[in-house]
Amino acid sequence: MSKTFEQAKIQLVTNQEIAEIGEKEVVTRSGERHKFDLLAMLEPNRAPSFISEAGLGENFADVRSPQDLRNPKYDDILAVGDAAKLPFPKNQEIAFESSLFAANKIMEMEGLSEKISVQYAFVGWAYLGNLEGKLDTLSLQFSLDLTSSPPKPGKDPQPKREYTTQKDNWEQAYLARLFGYKV
């Protein structure tokens, strides 16, 4: 990805707190200045403030384990998604899977023996566009199997059109799974 960014003359700056944004320049808290033509910023994930105000955890809601999403203090409060303090990246797939673990725990608490099949693992794609001006969007693929310890990463550094197709197919299947419709 860094090679593609270099070719496209994109400067990636991470883990910086913005102190000031000018018309064509950003100043970080440490005083670094970065000029830009187009600025894209991603804010850090934070859980809603009521979580710490309610004593459920600092920044994120504490959980007993990634599979038991009950709060350590309360048996009847579960946290899922970006609000839960999980040792995994914050993304929609992990958020969805955590909701399935929570559903399993609630069914167990209600005395039901049914379980939904679920595990923490994901494949991700990063759209890179196409620097040659073609309509074929290229993507990178990466994965992280969070069921092993330590988690097992995987990455193909070569941008490919087939990864874009895989992501598009995955998104359609994900939406069908979430909302129960077929395209």
Whole-number pLDDT of residue 171: 83
Q: Do residues 31 and 57 both lie within one domain?
A: no
Query: Which of 72, 88, 109 is the last residue before a domain boundary?
Result: 109
C-alpha distances out from residue 137 to 74, 122, 131, 143, 168, Å: 47, 21, 9, 20, 11
Residue 161 lies in a domain: yes
- The pLDDT confidence band at residue 128, using thresholds 50, 70 and 90, is confident
Whole-number pLDDT of residue 183: 61
Q: Summarize the confidence of residues 38-62 as an average pLDDT.
A: 90
Number of H helices, E strands in the chain: 4, 6
Q: Which of 29-38, 88-97, 128-137 has the highest mean pLDDT?
A: 29-38
Q: How many domains is the chain built from?
A: 3
| More confident site: 59 or 61 | 61
pTM tops 0.85, yes or no:
no
Q: Summarize the confidence of residues 64-77 as an average pLDDT.
A: 94
Residue 42 lies in a domain: no
Instruction: Tell which phi-psi region holds residue 9, choosing left (phi > 0), alpha (psi between -120 and 50) or beta.
Output: left
